Amino acid sequence: MFTFENYLKKDLKELKYLFSISFLLGFVVAFGQITYETVYVDYDSVWQYKNLRIIPIRPKAKPGQSSQSPGVLSLSQALKEGLATVTERGTASTENVHWLRINNRSDKSLFVSSGEVISGGRQDRMVARDTILSPSTHDQYVPVMCVEEGRWSDKEKKFAYENFANPYLRKVLDESKNQVLIWNEIDSQLGQMDSKKNKTLAYLSHTLEKKTMLTGDEYFRYFQDKFRRTDSSIVGFVCVSGNRVIGCDIFAWNDLFYNQLEPLLRGYIDGAVLFGGPVSLTNNVVKEYMDNVLANEKGQEDFVGKNGKLFRQGGNVIHINTF
C-alpha cells in the first residue's frame, strides 16, 4: 500500500545511497591507484606454514589519508549479519543458470568478488566478476558460473556462502569466463585428488573429506594467529606455494581486506594443500613478480590484463587480483 511515510523512507534511503557513493568515489580518488606509490610489500613479515607462504601488503601512510573505507560491506559479512539475501533469479528455466539475485538491505554498498562460491539453490555457483551493489529496495543481479555440473533441480536448496574458490579455479574463471573450461578444471582437480568420496562433479564435494578439512584447519589457525598478532594496516597479500606465485589480492581499503580475509585464506589454503608443494621460490623472484603488478600504472595494466583482473569504480582501482 502506498503511503507518504513509506515513500519518504524509500526516498531517504535512495538519497543516502547516492551520498555514500559520491563519498566513496571521492575517497577513492584520494587513495588513487594501487601501485608502489600507495602500498609496499612487507618482505620482513613473511609467514609460512608447510606448503604456503604469505607476504602481507601494507599501505604507505600519507598525511590526511586514511585506508578505511567509507562503509563498504563484503558479501560474506553481509550474509553473516543478515544484511543481504541470495535467491535464484526466477523460475527453474535454465536461462537463469548464470544469474543470482542479491538483495542488499543494509545502508551500505556491498562488494561482491569474482571467485566467491555460493552453494545451494538449484546448483552451486561461483561469482563471475567483481561488483558493487547499492543498498536498494530493488532486486539486483550478479553474473555467476556453475561449479556443480549435472544438477539443475526444480526445488531450491538453501543458499550458503562457501568462501573463495582455490586460486587455480579462480584463474580459469578470470581468464576464460567459459563454463565448459570451468567444468573441465573442476573435473581435473577432483581427479587429481583421487578421492573415493568425490562421486559427484560438484567442486565443493572435496570439502567433505575429513583429512582435507583437518589439514586446512591447521593452516588456517596458523595464519589466523599471525594476522591477529600483527597490526591491522594490511590491504592485501601475495601467496607462494611450490616454485610459483599462486595468487595476489590487494584492496583499496584495509577494512574491506579484513572482511574478505577468512574466505580468501580458505581458498588459498585449499589450493596449497591440494596442489601445492614445499616453497622453493625466493623473495627476489617474488619481488620481480610484484614489480610487474605495482611498479607503475602502465605496466600494471599490461600485466594484470594478462594475469588477473583490475576492478575499478569511477575509474579508480578497488581490487587487484593476479595469478
Per-residue pLDDT of the chain (323 residues; tens, 9 = 90+): 433 344 334 444 443 444 344 434 444 434 469 999 999 999 999 999 999 999 999 999 765 455 666 678 999 999 999 999 999 987 666 668 899 999 999 999 999 999 999 999 999 999 999 999 999 989 999 999 999 988 777 677 899 999 999 999 999 999 999 999 999 999 999 988 765 445 568 999 988 888 889 999 999 999 999 999 999 999 999 999 999 999 999 999 999 999 999 999 999 999 999 999 999 999 999 999 999 999 999 999 999 999 999 999 988 899 999 99
CA dist list (Å): 298 to 38, 128, 303, 304, 307: 15, 25, 9, 10, 14
Scan for cell 562457501, then name that residue: 162
CA distance 155 to 167: 31
Q: Phi/psi class of residue 50: alpha, beta or left (left: φ > 0; alpha: ψ in -120 to 50)?
A: left
Q: Is the pTM of this model over 0.75?
A: yes
Cβ atoms 70, 22 nearer than 8 A? no
210-229 vs 254-275: helix axis angle to the nearest 10?
140
Cβ atoms 185, 200 nearer than 8 A? no
CB atoms within 10 A of CB 2: 6
Cα distance between the two ends of the chain: 51
Cell numbers that stand for 115 in this block: 571467485
CA distance 72 to 287: 30
CB atoms within 10 A of CB 291: 14
Looking at residue 210, its pLDDT comes to: 86
Cβ atoms 162, 119 nearer than 8 A? yes
Looking at residue 66, its pLDDT comes to: 55
Looking at residue 274, its pLDDT comes to: 94
